[in-house]
Structure 1
Amino acid sequence: MDGDDRKILHLVRHGRTEMNEYLASNRWDASDFVDPLLYDTRLTKKGAAQAASLAPVTRFLDPKPEVLIASPLHRAMTTADLAFAGCEGIRKETCALMRERVFHASDVGRHPDAIEADFPDWCVKALREEHADANGVWWYAGDGADDLGTAVSASGVAQEPVEEFERRMGELVRWIESRPERSIAMVAHWGVWYSLTGREFENCELVTCELGDLRVGAGKFVWG
């Protein structure tokens, strides 16, 4: 990195999912919208192919990522495994701060034990010890005195308020800054990268930037 002190980030959005397919023909803002309850939605075959197609690219990223970090949601971790398959020996860690803003059931996660069983080569220690509660919940659940005004979808899923989400994005930026690595690969979600870059990432879009390019609220949510 030429001896400078920049922190380089390789940002990726997950591949196309079952929920993406559903939303393509069912507008989320329609009065008759029905949440299909695709909890922790999975990649489609197309989404898996999108992710795998990144592998020849990520193998030659410059600077080479020292660590691969993903949201603990299944679609992000699966994308990370496929997209960075050529980066042998890279450390893999989950970061709950990178989870999607909870819009629907598809953004609700799973217990750390289930994640560890599906992804045994990923480190979920921080997820388990720092973010999950006694029941293994690490996503926004809207339960608490401060959440009395939280909107609840027709399916009963507590929708994460913009203010809470952006507070978390600020915490994420500070967490990245505190990391010792100088080059980091990160796989997350539309809402996360939209908030921090103002860019509407396509599925499996890869963008390399500097930490200083991230700004909470760069992308403004006009709903919710």
Structure 2
Amino acid sequence: MPVNMAEDGNVAPGLSAPIGGKKIFFVRHGKTEWNNQLRYQGATDIPLNAEGRLQARRAALRFSLAKVDAVISSPLSRAYETAEEIASFHKGAAVEKTSLLTEVDFGEWEGRTVAEIRENYAEIFEAWRVNQLNVDAPGGEKADDLYERCGELSKLLLARPERSIVVVGHGAMLRALFPRLLALPRVSYFWRTRIDNCSITAFGADAGRFVLLFQNDTTHLKVAEGRIASLPLL
């Protein structure tokens, strides 16, 4: 019997997976002063700065003409402020908070610059850079707990009934989450991908699995504001 290629994107090497079904768009929050100072923020609640608020506005405009059924955010203010901007264009899509999206707690590293961490925690910092899913920041969230948290969030998002969801989170947490969404082995992903402030990454969710559609799209931060709403998402 002939195989229906449209029904299964995995039947042969090189075939693109279908992009029908639910879409989940992940947005990293806008910039903060600590981002600009290269300070680790983690679970510390640092608000957006002026640049970050402008970035959030631009991200919101990117979604303004799209259908958005739900907006889900980390409870930390820099993410929640970004999420509120996005939700403001979509009647009935009030921002939902979940602690599963909270940024990784970096313990003793929080508030310190990269240079300060290198100077005072050189050995463990380099080990963490190599594989953050198996090394803990001193006094911070355990790598095992982060891995399990990402698994819980993956199940939650897959079970959501909405067809178009925007999720607003944080750089380290999203870097840990994306391999779980793709059912990849527990390997380091942190330093092998970019997730810029207010970038958009999209996944399709269909037939009980996630498919990466695109990652780290920042076009809306680079064009004239009047053009942003017309930029395609898919």
TM class by shorter chain equals 0.5 to 0.7
Match of 1:204 among 187, 198, 206: 198
Match of 2:22 in 1: 7
Pick the structure with more strand per residue. Answer: 2
For the residue of structure 2 that corresponds to 1:184, the secondary structure is strand
For the residue of structure 1 that corresponds to 2:21, the secondary structure is coil
TM-score when normalising by structure 2 = 0.58
After superposition, the C-alpha distances for 1:9-37 in whole angstroms (9 at most, x for unaligned) are 011000001221221xx6x6xxxxxx8x9
Please list every run of 5 or more consecutive structure 1 residues that lacks an aligned counterpart in the other structure: 29-34, 107-148, 153-157, 215-224
Amino acid at match of 1:170: G
Distance 1:11 1:151 in 2: 25
In the alignment, structure 1 residue 55 sits paired with structure 2 residue 70: no
State the Cα RMSD in Å: 2.7
After superposition, the C-alpha distances for 1:28-79 in whole angstroms (9 at most, x for unaligned) are 6xxxxxx8x9930111110011101122211122xx2211100011110001
Amino acid at match of 1:99: T
Match of 2:168 in 1: 187
Asked if structure 2 preserves the Cα contact closer than 8 Å seen for 1:169 and 1:196, the reply is: yes
Q: Percent identity?
A: 31
Match of 1:95 among 94, 98, 103: 98
After superposition, the C-alpha distances for 1:116-173 in whole angstroms (9 at most, x for unaligned) are xxxxxxxxxxxxxxxxxxxxxxxxxxxxxxxxx9753xxxxx3112221111000110
Distance 2:64 2:137 in 1: 43
Please list every run of 5 or more consecutive structure 2 residues that lacks an aligned counterpart in the other structure: 1-18, 112-134, 179-188, 213-234
For the residue of structure 2 that corresponds to 1:170, the secondary structure is helix
Alignment of 1:75-94 (within 5 A): 75-94=78-97
Runs of 4 or more, structure 1, over 3 Å off, are 149-152
Match of 1:168 among 149, 170, 184: 149
TM-score when normalising by structure 1 = 0.60
Asked if structure 2 preserves the Cα contact closer than 8 Å seen for 1:51 and 1:83, the reply is: yes
After TM superposition, give the deviation of residue 8 of structure 1 in Å.
Answer: 1.0
Q: Which has the larger radius of gyration?
A: 2
Match of 1:67 among 70, 76, 81: 70
Alignment of 1:124-163 (within 5 A): 152=138, 158-163=139-144
Change in 2 beyond 3 A, CA 1:56/1:166: same
Amino acid at match of 1:87: H
Distance 1:150 1:194 in 2: 15
Change in 2 beyond 3 A, CA 1:38/1:190: closer
- Number of matched pairs: 152
